[in-house]
Structure 1
Amino acid sequence: MDWPAVAAAAAAGLAPTTPIAVTLANRVIACSAAARAAGVRRGLRRREAQARCPEVHVVTADPARDARHFETVIAAVDALIPRAEVLRPGLLVLAVRGAARYFGSEQAAAERLVDAVAAAGAECQVGIADQLPTAVFAARAGRIVEPGADALFLSNLSIRQLSTEPSLAPPSRENLADLLWRMGIRKIGQFAELPRSDVASRFGADGVAAHRFACGEPGRGPSGRDPDGELDAVMNCDPPIDRVDAAAFAGRSLASTLHRSLEAAGVGCTRLAIHAITANGQELERVWRCAEPLTEDATADRVRWQLDGWLNRRNAQDRPDGPITVLRLRPVEVVSAEALQLPLWGGIGEEDRLRARRALVRVQGLLGPDAVRVPVLSGGRGPAERITFAALGDELVPQANPDQPWPGRLPEPSPTVLLDDPVELFDADGNPVRVTTRGLFSTDPFRLDAPGRSGRLSWWAGPWPVDERWWDPALKSGRTARVQVLLGPDPAQALLLCYRQRRWYLEGAYE
């Protein structure tokens, strides 16, 4: 669970004992052991985490960084026991039966794995159990569960553990765990004692899947077989690829090809093999595993993470021996389309949406990753601050949490057009209008002078002053004030003005 903090420390060149907190939308999602010892916990606000541990090093969540640094660990494990599958950066699974016979026992195999990962520069915990989900929870405790004792091991775990591992459960599992807790079911063992028919009638298919896990019943295990090549998506790279950005564009196009073939076959992919061949004949392959069928975007993300991990390994000797000439995606495990829960109205306009996205991806391939950006609702007080732009295909992470309270935020509705043009505001005598330190007009506004929008004010509201982060010299607009004005009446124009650094700016227009 701490891998994002471990990867952040490695990327920044910090010691493993440095307190580190990884944040997403201003909330801590992972922290190092040193930060936890100082009181930092997942779910805390960034400011509260810094108050508990002033020396904590705060970084923003970056799945690509986590996957890139995890590749070193995967390579170390794969060299010892092949065919490891990645659930997420920081967590991988493999079949231990053959390794136990080779090394003499499961305990000996676990010790060799710990030593191999330690040689790669990281610490790890190993869990062994009959079923894969049980082994994941056993790894958190560093336990080897006796054969046939999966249900007994799980019985004492909190019911909220059902939703703590996203690679094993869909997002709806969190609602199920919360509902069971409110119903008085505190332990997984209590949930396992419920009749399967009652669980199915009350909680549906996801409840049945969770109940099977609670009972320690067999599920999907790590694959040890070669995948079928009927649905493979292959790209011959000409020219060969030696940069991550070029590889990511190729992977995104290949993901689109793969999903078109999956849709034609009426299946979804839950286990994906990413295979690459270099110009010198070296072959690289890694298998990614997911709890739910991969979407096209999720496939593209995993291809990008894996290629980044291969091409940017910390040890130059472990990198590919040449540029990539062939890239192949192979669905190792597929599920029938009958198992896919599609939206009721998802079919309407779906083809148009996919066609538009493919066109935008082609634009990105020609002009670069930042040529096409999509807006993400973010937190802030001004209309421009509430929008964060992310490159198409990247994770849509807001710069600030939009669900938090923002005192002084501009009330609805927001301007339909955002601008940032300097304007002049005058009173009836032609004198400039300013905003005083008390947040009031120096005199009543009368006329606005702006290119193409000059005229007399027929109505105005404000000013609404905001004084935010005045202690930060890097923030140029710490003290601002906003005013809504109406020019007209013929033609009437509703505008939003912003006063910062002793000047007026046209911030937006209502249309």
Structure 2
Amino acid sequence: MTGSPARTLLLWCPDWPVLAAEIVDGVPATGPVAVLHANRVVACSERARAEGVRRGLRKREAQGRCPQLTVVDYDPGRDTRAFEPVVAAVEELVAGVEVVRPGACAVAARGPSRYLGGEEAAAERIIEHVAQSCLVESQVGIADGVFAAGLAARAGRVVAPGGTPEFLAGLPVEALGRSALADLLRRLGVRTLGDFAALPAGDVLARFGFDGALAHRLAAGRDHRPLAVRQPPADLTVTAEHDEPIDRVDVAAFVARALAEQLHERLAGHGLACTRLGIEAVTEHGQELHRVWRHDGLLTAAAIADRVRWQLDGWLSGSSGRGGARPARPTAGIIRLRLIPDGVIAQAGLQAGLWGETGEERERAHRALSRVQGILGPEAVVTAVLGGGRSPADQVRLVPWGDERVPARPGPAPLPGEPITSGTDRAASSGRPADHGGGAVPPWPGRLPAPAPAVVLPSPLAATVHDAAGEPVVISARLAVSAPPARLVVGAGQPTEIVGWAGPWPVDERWWVPAEARRRARFQVSLAGGAALLLAVEAGQWLVEAIYD
């Protein structure tokens, strides 16, 4: 391949996984934050680096250097979603943007430098525009090739045309982003990219293989990889304007079917199908209505039409209802209706089952529940999703009908009959590793043993526990019980005899974050009347958390 690498402008957002966690999840990036993948730090905030946290550290070592460290799990989907507005802001000034990875995007420098007054002026203009549009700090590097431009962006430099090999020569071999290769090169005495580039290409290929030969070309500044230009996403939204306001359900049904077929055809033209549909309406008086419908399969044209019709029926026939349960009916007819495919996938991404997409009973139930949602709102119909957690309240998440059934916390919930030893759980729940005979620490140590309680109280009830002598039962800092529990009083009720008890099961959570730290111990007690309760002691106060069947 002949010719020089194309001049490339690369925008880089430092510590992007940390910023994405702030944008999406609200984790303050100004504090000590570390993003972990496979128990190792992959990104950290500036405050965390000041405390000694570095990429590649294990979680325990990072927390040892910075006890106040906030740990966030690595989520490439979150990073990608948060970076999309930044890419869109760059596309407002330049065309042909390539997303290198979440947090970095590149564009050919020739065009922007011509109409923005030079390379340095283009870099300053793009940085300023991203800061104003997205409130995100960024750096721009310009060099010959994407690889060199990425390294220049970390230094905020504009490398002169033809000066890329000299710029790269003084950088360490770790800049290649290949840790195994860099370690081997250092052991062979090759410490900089210039030293590596000086090696004969044939010898590099024979010794290090194809990937080593590619790294050799990059180190020499011979990056000929063309930019993969990003195509802006197509506008798939369909809108219908109406001169005569729609205030009747039968007219709304006709409009819904025509608009649904238009949306389905547009999606099919791009090889896409809809799984989540946004419905927006504007009334004659300017009132804006919005609702999102979700589906666990592909929305056909008929399914889209049904959901639009149900939603319009819910809006147009709405009334105040007892206790405000139903939304108020719009004060005027609808003059604008818009369908937004909020979730799309490739049309071949889902396949119907052997006997059809869903059974007749399931579809009938889905229609009924979806219609209730259209009238009362998405939160009116919820289903339970079982996940991880140490307490029964933590293990169940209520999600609206049709939403993705994702657990609130990762990891499996407790299994029936699963043995748990208090010594092991105590060590693991306090953040210290326990000895499991060489095995891994089980998920959610400190969780309660089976069986699970039948009723989890929305708010724990205050209680007192006394021993046989009538003295309050207290738990010491070392989890020693002052005396066997004998009587239980819930609130201002009458004392009830305790005929059996088990515990304590201690949990010491997030001790490294004082504001979020929580330390408590749980007991299972059997009462004289046959009832069984789950009790907890926190800050010296006894609480009733759940009831066993």
Q: Give the alignment's TM-score, normalised by structure 1.
A: 0.50
Q: Give the alignment's TM-score, normalised by structure 2.
A: 0.47
